[in-house]
Structure 1
Amino acid sequence: MSQIELNDKKIQILKVAEKLFSEKGFEGTSIRDISKEAKINIAMVSYYFGSKEKLLEALIIHKTADLKLQIESLQHEKLEPLDKVNKLVEIYINRINCNKGIFRVLHFELTSKKRENSLAVFTELKKGNLKSLETIIHEGQSKGIFRKDIIIPLITPTIMGTFFHFHMNKPFFVELLNLNTEELYDNYIKTILKNHIQQTIKALLVYEN
């Protein structure tokens, strides 16, 4: 499924769906719940999206299309391979941090076989992003900068897994690190956590001195 045409009503429905899916789960949210929260006739939601599964698919495309474009364009930037990887980490952290709702939905729904068709579009996105990452890693390997024994498909889970562990344990880290406001918490993610993940990925990629 390609990028969808969106009007204000569709965007409003997608925002509400993301909020409810992330709070109540996909199974726990009905089209009626979404239409009520969005203050839109239930028939209008069905007219625009057809089904709850198609609504989830549209939401995934809406929220991840720009991530795909950013990662694809990164391959062609005039940067050294390690700088590209550092920027890749920054792109992932920024996009996930700005779209915690949809990534929470995906994190939960990916464990369910029931949603395989709806999530096929997300699987295709991940395959495309992996190809872009492979291009960057192979460039670094050809220059003798990156190790030859890197397991490339595990790089992205290392980035996202670290972020999600931090975020899923937010109350613990807020208390531990005195991140008592949302601004402090977000700034920590964008600076210290991002730098930590970049250092971790660098340690996996680069030959030891």
Structure 2
Amino acid sequence: MELNDKQKEIVQVAEKLFAEYGFDGTSVRLIAKEAGINIAMISYYFGSKEKLLEHMVVHRMSGFKVNLDEIIAQDDRSYHDRLNEIVALYVKRIHKNNRIYKIVHNELTNNARSLTFEHYLSQKKKNLDSVTKFIEAGQKAHVFKKHIEIPLLIPSILGTYFHFHYNQRFYEESYGLNTPESKELFIETTLTKHIQKMLNALITYED
């Protein structure tokens, strides 16, 4: 689903509104108003608000598996180094796209919603398959422990990040994060390194 510049602009506006007001609380009329276009253009480009959300999810997930597989394929690097880079990639992507995660989570937990996010779930499965093969290769190389709950590794990354994300006021005081720049640096360094150490402790043998 390649998007042109106008579609990307509409998706960006809709993502902001969905995150702020929810899917049900955001009308097509409001999206059109905020994007400075007429309603017919949304119908022309996407067909419906549901299809707009689907395109949004696909657009935000694009390229991630390519980046993930590129890291895994670097056989000249140690498993430890590649694991750390995988963690850094996940943190960077979920931080950049935290609004879409919020939107998808809200919709997936809405039992009254008919949206299935088939592509989203399919892509998550492919990402997990790549991580699983990497971990299993590390187990055969006697770097990673046996009996690892591999499907729970990614939620461990996401859970730690989103705990910080939704409790920023607490961490602002704890770490003196007084500016947007200090928060960005904290996520890139302290938070990412903490998650890297946590996953290494979970799955790798002690030196």
Q: Which moved more, 1:25-34 or 1:148-157?
A: 25-34
Superposition deviation, residue 99 in structure 1:
1.6
Superposition deviation, residue 206 in structure 1:
1.1
Q: Which ranges of structure 1 fall in alignment gaps of 5 or more residues?
A: none
Distance 1:116 1:186, change over 3 A: farther
Take 2:85 and 2:150, find their aligned partners in 1: how far apart are those partners? Answer: 16
Distance 1:118 1:58, change over 3 A: farther
CA RMSD of aligned residues (A): 1.3
Superposition deviation, residue 85 in structure 1:
1.3
Question: What residue in structure 2 maps to residue 130 of structure 1?
Answer: 128
Distance 1:114 1:88, change over 3 A: farther
Distance 1:105 1:51, change over 3 A: same
Q: Which moved more, 1:73-82 or 1:4-13?
A: 73-82
Under a length normalisation based on structure 1, what TM-score does the superposition of the two structures give? Answer: 0.94
The answer to whether the aligner puts 1:27 opposite 2:24 as a matched pair is yes
The answer to whether the aligner puts 1:55 opposite 2:74 as a matched pair is no
Distance 1:94 1:45, change over 3 A: same
State whether residues 107 and 115 of structure 2, in contact with CA within 8 Å, keep that contact through their aligned partners in structure 1: no
1:8 corresponds to which letter in structure 2?
Answer: D
State whether residues 108 and 116 of structure 2, in contact with CA within 8 Å, keep that contact through their aligned partners in structure 1: no
Take 1:140 and 1:23, find their aligned partners in 2: how far apart are those partners? Answer: 42
State whether residues 57 and 118 of structure 1, in contact with CA within 8 Å, keep that contact through their aligned partners in structure 2: no
Question: What residue in structure 2 maps to residue 201 of structure 1?
Answer: 199
CA offsets per residue over residues 141-181 of structure 1, 9 Å max, x none? Answer: 00011111100000000000000000011111112211000
- The percentage of aligned residue pairs carrying the same residue is 46
Take 2:206 and 2:70, find their aligned partners in 1: how far apart are those partners? Answer: 29
CA offsets per residue over residues 184-207 of structure 1, 9 Å max, x none? Answer: 011000000000000000011012
CA offsets per residue over residues 58-99 of structure 1, 9 Å max, x none? Answer: 001111112122112222112222222111100011111112
Distance 1:99 1:194, change over 3 A: same
Superposition deviation, residue 115 in structure 1:
4.5
CA offsets per residue over residues 101-125 of structure 1, 9 Å max, x none? Answer: 2122123222123456451111011
1:131 corresponds to which letter in structure 2?
Answer: D
Under a length normalisation based on structure 2, what TM-score does the superposition of the two structures give? Answer: 0.95
Distance 1:100 1:114, change over 3 A: same
Take 1:85 and 1:116, find their aligned partners in 2: how far apart are those partners? Answer: 37
Question: What residue in structure 2 maps to residue 87 of structure 1?
Answer: 85
Take 2:104 and 2:114, find their aligned partners in 1: how far apart are those partners? Answer: 11
Distance 1:177 1:116, change over 3 A: farther
SS of alignment partner, residue 74 of structure 2: coil
The answer to whether the aligner puts 1:9 opposite 2:16 as a matched pair is no
For residues 162-177 of structure 1, what are the structure 2 equivalents within 5 Å? 162-177=160-175
State whether residues 94 and 190 of structure 1, in contact with CA within 8 Å, keep that contact through their aligned partners in structure 2: yes
SS of alignment partner, residue 59 of structure 1: helix
Question: What residue in structure 2 maps to residue 67 of structure 1?
Answer: 64
The answer to whether the aligner puts 1:182 opposite 2:180 as a matched pair is yes
Question: What residue in structure 2 maps to residue 155 of structure 1?
Answer: 153
